[in-house]
C-alpha cells in the first residue's frame, strides 16, 4: 500500500513542522513560496532555464547517472537572481537548521541552491540520502548534518517526476537497507509548496513519463559549518552579488569566516571580507 506524506498548511507552527519531520523525515508545507517571490525568481532564471542543456558533462559514470540525462541542473542562484536572498532567508528552512544543525556546530552554511528541472523521458533517480555526501557522518547514530527544502516552482505530479520520499527511513537501524516498492510516498505539490526534509531520509526524483512537461524544482539546503558544502559558495556568488545582501546571508554564502572556539575559512587568518578589502 502506497504511503503518504503529511501536508501542513502555510500557517503551520514551527513545532508542528518539527514534530512531523522527526517522525517521517519529510513534510510538505503549503505555499512556502509566496506567488510574487516565485514569479520574480522564475523570471530571473528564465533564460538559463531555457538554454541549459540536460545532463552532466563531468564526473564519474555514477554521478552522471545520478544527475540524469534528461534533467537540467544549475546553481549560482545568488548571482543569477537578485530575489534569491528572499528564498535563502525564508524562516521555515532556517528554523529547521537552527533546531537540527546548531547543536552540532557553531554555525551552518548553505550547502547548495540548485535548480532541478526533470524533463520528459527522464528515468527515476537512484535512491539516496543527502547526508551520504559525507559518509562518515551518514549512519543511524550520526547527528543531523544537512536539512533541505524542495520548492515546487511549478506543479509536481507523479507523472512529471515529483520527488519520492521513504517516510521514517531516517530512523532505520540499518542504513544499508534498500526501500521496497511500497515504502515510498510521492510528494505531489502545487506551485509554491515546499517539501522540507532531513538529510538522513531516503528519497529520489521520480520518472517523468510525460511527453511535454518539465518539472521545475528548486532545492535549497544547509549543512554543518565544519563540513564542505556541495557548492563552492563564494565562487558561485561573487562579492559583487553578496555585497548587496544582509550580513546573515553573506555568512550563509561563505563570505564570513567560521567558528567561535576555533577559526577556519580565513584569508591571511583574517575575517574573509575584511582581508579582501570588503568590510
- Each as own residue / partner, the long-range contacts of residues 129-137 (CB below 8 Å, 24 or more positions apart, any chain) are 129/169, 129/170, 129/175, 129/199, 129/200, 129/201, 129/202, 129/203, 130/199, 130/221, 131/199, 131/200, 133/230, 134/227, 137/227
Question: pLDDT, tens digit, for every residue of 213-231?
Answer: 999 999 999 999 999 999 9
Whole-number pLDDT of residue 58: 86
Q: Is the pLDDT of residue 268 over 80?
A: yes
Domain extent listing, the chain = 7-231, 237-279
Query: Does domain 7-231 fall into CATH 1.10.40.30?
Result: no
pLDDT at residue 215, as a whole number? 98
CB 69 within 8 Å of CB 188: no
Quickly list DSSP for 142-182: SPP-EEEEEEESS-B-TTBT-EEE-TTGGG-S-TTPPP-TT
pLDDT at 25: 98
pLDDT (0 to 100) of residue 191: 98
Amino acid at each position: 500500500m502506497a504511503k503518504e506524506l503529511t501536508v501542513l498548511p502555510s500557517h503551520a507552527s514551527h513545532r508542528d513542522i518539527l514534530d512531523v519531520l522527526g517522525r517521517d523525515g519529510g513534510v510538505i508545507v503549503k505555499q512556502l513560496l509566496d506567488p510574487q517571490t516565485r514569479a520574480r525568481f522564475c523570471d530571473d532564471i528564465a533564460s538559463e532555464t531555457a538554454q541549459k542543456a540536460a545532463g552532466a558533462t563531468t564526473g564519474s559514470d555514477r554521478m552522471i547517472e545520478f544527475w540524469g540525462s534528461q534533467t537540467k541542473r544549475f546553481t549560482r542562484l545568488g548571482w543569477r537572481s537578485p530575489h534569491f536572498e528572499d528564498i535563502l532567508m525564508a524562516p521555515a528552512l532556517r528554523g529547521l537548521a537552527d533546531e537540527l544543525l546548531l547543536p552540532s556546530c557553531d554555525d551552518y552554511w548553505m550547502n547548495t541552491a540548485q535548480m532541478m528541472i526533470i524533463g520528459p523521458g527522464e528515468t527515476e533517480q537512484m535512491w539516496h540520502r543527502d547526508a551520504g555526501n559525507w559518509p562518515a557522518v551518514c549512519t543511524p547514530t550520526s547527528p543531523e548534518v544537512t536539512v533541505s527544502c524542495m520548492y515546487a516552482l511549478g506543479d509536481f505530479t507523479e507523472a512529471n517526476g515529483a520527488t519520492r520520499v521513504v517516510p521514517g527511513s531516517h530512523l532505520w537501524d540499518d542504513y544499508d537497507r534498500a526501500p521496497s516498492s511500497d515504502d515510498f510516498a510521492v510528494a505531489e505539490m502545487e506551485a509554491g509548496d515546499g517539501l522540507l526534509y532531513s538529510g538522513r531520509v531516503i528519497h529520489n526524483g521520480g520518472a517523468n513519463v510525460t511527453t511535454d512537461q518539465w518539472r521545475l524544482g528548486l532545492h535549497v539546503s544547509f549543512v554543518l559549518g565544519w563540513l564542505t558544502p556541495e557548492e563552492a559558495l563564494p565562487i558561485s556568488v561573487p562579492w559583487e552579488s553578496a555585497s548587496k545582501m544582509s550580513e546573515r546571508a553573506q555568512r550563509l554564502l561563505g563570505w564570513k569566516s567560521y567558528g567561535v572556539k576555533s577559526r577556519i575559512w580565513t584569508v591571511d587568518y583574517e575575517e574573509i571580507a575584511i582581508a579582501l578589502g570588503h568590510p
